[in-house]
Amino acid sequence: MALDVEKEIAGLKAQAEARPGAKRKLSMVVFSGDLDKHIASMIIATGAAAMGMEVVVFYTFWGTAALRDPSKRVGGKNLVEKMFGMMLPRGRDMTKLSKMNMAGAGTAMIKAVMKKKNVASLGEMFDLAGQLGVKIIICEMSMDLMGFKFEEMIDYPGLSIGGVATFLADAGESAVQLFI
Amino acid sequence: MPDYKIAKTLDYKGLKCPMPIVKISQEMPKLSLGDVVEVQTTDPGSLSDFPAWAKTTGQQVLETKQEPGLITIYVKKTK
């Protein structure tokens, strides 16, 4: 009899764990390419990791440009891809504010204020995210559209490429999902 | 003075969101079960962030003290 109860409990436990959205996990889409939105997404990602959550950040569309490494150059691009490469920010430090950019003056000002007030820079937050085990996935199709190659992306622990199914599989089991 | 023994004092003064909770979460594995740490912070967000972090991660905030320009939070490792 006692054995049956234990079995029952184990069965219920397994069911509860398999329930969609039951995992203490954050799945986030970073679609935007603005500096302010990148800062917000990184604060949430590192904060969630500190709360003991598993964190996956999926970079798509304008968001992917922030993952470019300005020191890496790759060849083999056609004219359109080269144009995209030139017009989009070459890495997170080249992203701009979504408002009050004022030809770069606003962006420079917010960076100076952040430094003065001891708010971690975007670069520092990426380093921290890597240490905390935040997983970063780059959308394959966005990279293809904009002509970005995986070889020109930042060195980040476990950086990988994925598609919509990858994100949905992660999102489905996550208690928190965000689109930024 | 609080009547519990403080294992360690952590100076998080000047740090901004999300650094105080990132730092305390990185500190936890270095402590023993039952240890109480004294966290000094200047970030007003910590007043609500530490209890939220503790509730989510299974730790305990014993006491929060607010003085002009300094917040002291006592955290007990319960997990």
Span A38-79, pLDDT tens digits: 999 999 999 999 999 999 999 999 999 999 999 998 888 999
- Nearest-angstrom CA–CA distance, A136 and A68: 13
Contact list, A132 vs chain B (CB under 8 Å)? 22
ipTM of the complex: 0.83
How many interface pairs between A and B have CB atoms less than 8 angstroms apart? 37
Helix A35-50 vs helix A122-131: crossing angle, to nearest 10 = 30
User: What's the predicted TM-score (pTM) here?
Assistant: 0.87
Number of domains in chain A: 1
User: What's A134's DSSP letter?
Assistant: -
A52 interface with B at CB cutoff 8 Å: yes
Q: Check if B17 is active-site.
A: yes
CB contact under 8 A, A128 and B22: yes
pLDDT of residue B3: 74
Of A73-77, B49-53, B54-58, minimum mean pLDDT range = A73-77
Residue of chain B minimizing CA distance to A114:
B16
Distances (CA, A) of B31 to A58, A103, B5: 33, 49, 14
Burial class (CB in 10 A: 0-12, 13-18, 19+), A51: buried
Any idea what the CATH number is for the domain that residue A137 is in? 3.40.1260.10
Instruction: Give the closest residue to B46 by CA, choosing from B61, B58, B57.
Output: B61
pLDDT of residue A2: 61
Domain boundaries, chain B: 8-76
> Quick one: fold of B8-76?
Translation Initiation Factor IF3 (3.30.110)
Q: Which residues of B26-36 are buried (b: 16+ CB within 10 A; e: fewer)?
A: ebbeebeeebb
pLDDT of residue A1: 56
pLDDT of residue A31: 98
Domain extent for A87: 26-179
